[in-house]
């Protein structure tokens, strides 16, 4: 009862201890909670904050219970009985161990006999099967011997049949050749006719086009004719009006009668453009006869000079802008072309990895003609045959699909980026077992076969069963926790479930 309720059997007793011995007890037995010496009680408690062990001591009170005297003779007899029982128990333990050893040997012998029995059974079954095959083949051989037929006659008969079949094949091939020649001629005639029909259709289309063009030109000419006729009518009316005004101003009704007027009229040009130019010259001369504003002339000259200077400045700025644009194009071409080539290589490897996954993927450069900061790498993937290539983002793909794409993109970069190792943390979270197994196989193949491949550190709380591990793969299992035994106490049984 004391052991069950008070753990009396777990409370140690000791003689008087020195301070050094007490420190040794605290260090070697950190899980001890209480122990006693001759006249002192010691209690050990562990701090929840600093994890330090605190020792408290107190004097033991005089005993008040169980102080009755003990029958020494009865105690000696009981101790003798206990020793006798322990000796008998030791003998029984030895006999039990011998029985267990004998049982193990008998079990091994039984397993060996059963194995031999199974082998003999397999041999007996094979022997019976061989006997059955021999009997069936002997029966077939006897049947062949019993059946009598003329081999030469049968061979001659087969030759005649083969000859007939060859004749029929020759006749069929001859007919087929004739039909092929006829089909060839018909096909040639058909091709010639089709070529003539095609040429005729092209000529008809050309004629229709020429007709439409000619008709459009005719309609345009008729419209121009109508417009010219209207203009001629207006000009005639204007000429008659001007003639009437000239007669009224000059007072001459018939210009042919006034020789002086006719001679002056003959000095003017006959073309309308030359007449209008002459009118402008006369108008300018008339304007010069009026008063001239010198301030307006000076302001005009200053503005004209300023305009010329601004035109020169604009020309210089335009030249600088063209030079800067040309230089910018050269600089852009110097990094954009290698970048596209680099992304092309990445896209090729990325597509190959996706093809091994029975999916489709590509990597491209997203360009913005106005803002270089908007340039980005565009990853497009397709995980199902019914879909089109879609950009990789959180709205279109699941978490597992994004993890697969990220891992394959990282592997595609391996051939163009030189780094000694790569660390991947929980990349298989959210993947289905099929994709997780494929990605693991690709990582193992990429890091094991390539001569200059990077070393991969894959951190994961779990792995699939029956994965293919090569000699280049090392698995480290990390154990940690409050219940972990000390290093010197760790054995293989501590980590096996």
| pLDDT (tens digit per residue) in 401-412 | 888 888 888 888
pLDDT at 2: 59
- Give the CA-trace dihedral at 175, 181, 183, 187, to 10 degrees: 170
Our CA angle for 115, 120, 122, nearest 5°, is 95
pLDDT at 172: 83
Residue 435: pLDDT over 60: yes
Among candidate residues 443, 440, 445, 444, the one with its CA nearest the CA of residue 411: 443
Residue 61: pLDDT over 80: no
Residue 197: pLDDT over 60: yes
Binned at pLDDT 50, 70 and 90, residue 366 comes out as: confident
413 CB neighbour count, 10 Å cutoff: 18
pLDDT at 83: 86
Edge-to-edge strand ranges of the sheet holding 34-36: 34-36, 40-46, 53-59
Asked if 59 and 69 touch (Cβ cutoff 8 Å), the reply is no
pTM of the model: 0.36
CA distance 449 to 415: 13
Residue 158: pLDDT over 70: yes
pLDDT at 463: 79
Long-range contact list for 363-369, CB < 8 A, 24+ apart? 363/409, 363/412, 365/339, 365/340
Our CA angle for 402, 405, 410, nearest 5°, is 125
The arithmetic mean of pLDDT across residues 213-234, rounded, is 77
Phi, psi values for residue 428, rounded to 5°: -85, 5
Give the highest mean pLDDT range of 266-270, 391-395, 438-442.
Answer: 391-395
Least trusted range by pLDDT, from 381-385, 408-412, 491-495 = 491-495
CA distance 416 to 413: 6
pLDDT at 254: 67
CA distance 427 to 405: 10
Asked if 265 and 255 touch (Cβ cutoff 8 Å), the reply is yes
Give the side-chain half-sphere CA count within 13 A for 255.
Answer: 14
Give the highest mean pLDDT range of 144-158, 274-288, 431-445.
Answer: 431-445
The arithmetic mean of pLDDT across residues 424-451, rounded, is 76
């Amino acid at each position: 009862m004391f052991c069950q309720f008070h753990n009396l059997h777990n409370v140690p007793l000791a003689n008087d201890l020195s301070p050094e011995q007490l420190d040794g007890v605290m260090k070697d037995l950190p899980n001890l909670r209480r122990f006693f010496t001759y006249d002192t009680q010691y209690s050990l408690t562990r701090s929840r904050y600093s994890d330090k062990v605190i020792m408290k001591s107190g004097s033991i009170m005089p005993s008040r219970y169980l102080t009755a005297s003990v029958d020494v003779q009865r105690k000696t007899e009981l101790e003798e009985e206990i020793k006798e029982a322990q000796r008998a128990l030791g003998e029984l333990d030895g006999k039990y161990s011998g029985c267990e050893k004998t049982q193990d040997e008998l079990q091994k012998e039984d397993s060996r006999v059963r194995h031999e029995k199974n082998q003999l059974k397999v041999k007996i079954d094979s022997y019976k099967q061989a006997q059955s095959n021999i009997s069936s083949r002997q029966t077939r051989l006897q049947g062949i011997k019993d059946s009598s037929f003329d081999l030469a006659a049968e061979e001659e008969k087969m030759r005649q049949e083969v000859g007939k079949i060859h004749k029929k094949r020759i006749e069929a091939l001859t007919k087929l050749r004739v039909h092929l020649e006829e089909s060839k001629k018909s096909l040639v005639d058909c091709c010639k006719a089709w070529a003539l029909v095609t040429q005729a259709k092209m000529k008809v289309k050309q004629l229709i086009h020429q007709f439409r063009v000619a008709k459009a030109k005719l309609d345009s000419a008729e419209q121009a004719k109508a417009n010219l006729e209207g203009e001629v009518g207006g000009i005639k009316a204007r000429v008659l009006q001007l003639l009437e005004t000239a007669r009224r101003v000059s007072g001459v009704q018939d210009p042919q009668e006034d020789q002086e007027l006719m001679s002056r009229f003959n000095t003017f040009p006959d073309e309308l453009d030359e007449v209008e130019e002459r009118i402008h010259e006369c108008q300018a001369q008339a304007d010069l006869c009026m008063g001239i504003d010198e301030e307006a002339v000076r302001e005009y000259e200053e503005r004209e000079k300023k305009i010329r200077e601004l035109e020169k400045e604009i020309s210089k700025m335009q030249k600088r802008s063209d030079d800067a644009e040309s230089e910018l194009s050269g600089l852009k071409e110097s990094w954009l072309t290698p970048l596209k080539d680099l992304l092309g290589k990445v896209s090729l490897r990325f597509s190959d990895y996706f093809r091994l996954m029975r999916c489709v993927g590509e990597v491209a450069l997203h360009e913005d003609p106005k803002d270089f900061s908007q340039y980005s790498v565009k990853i497009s993937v397709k995980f199902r045959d019914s879909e089109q290539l879609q950009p990789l983002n959180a709205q279109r793909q699941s978490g597992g699909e994004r993890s697969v794409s990220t891992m394959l993109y990282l592997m595609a970069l391996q051939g163009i980026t030189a780094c000694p190792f790569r660390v991947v943390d929980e990349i298989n979270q959210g993947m289905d077992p099929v994709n997780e197994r494929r990605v693991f196989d690709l990582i193992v193949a990429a890091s094991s076969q390539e001569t200059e491949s990077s070393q991969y550190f894959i951190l994961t709380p779990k792995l699939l069963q029956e994965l293919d591990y090569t000699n280049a793969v090392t698995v480290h299992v990390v154990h940690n926790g409050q219940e972990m035994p000390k290093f010197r106490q760790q054995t293989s049984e501590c980590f096996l479930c």
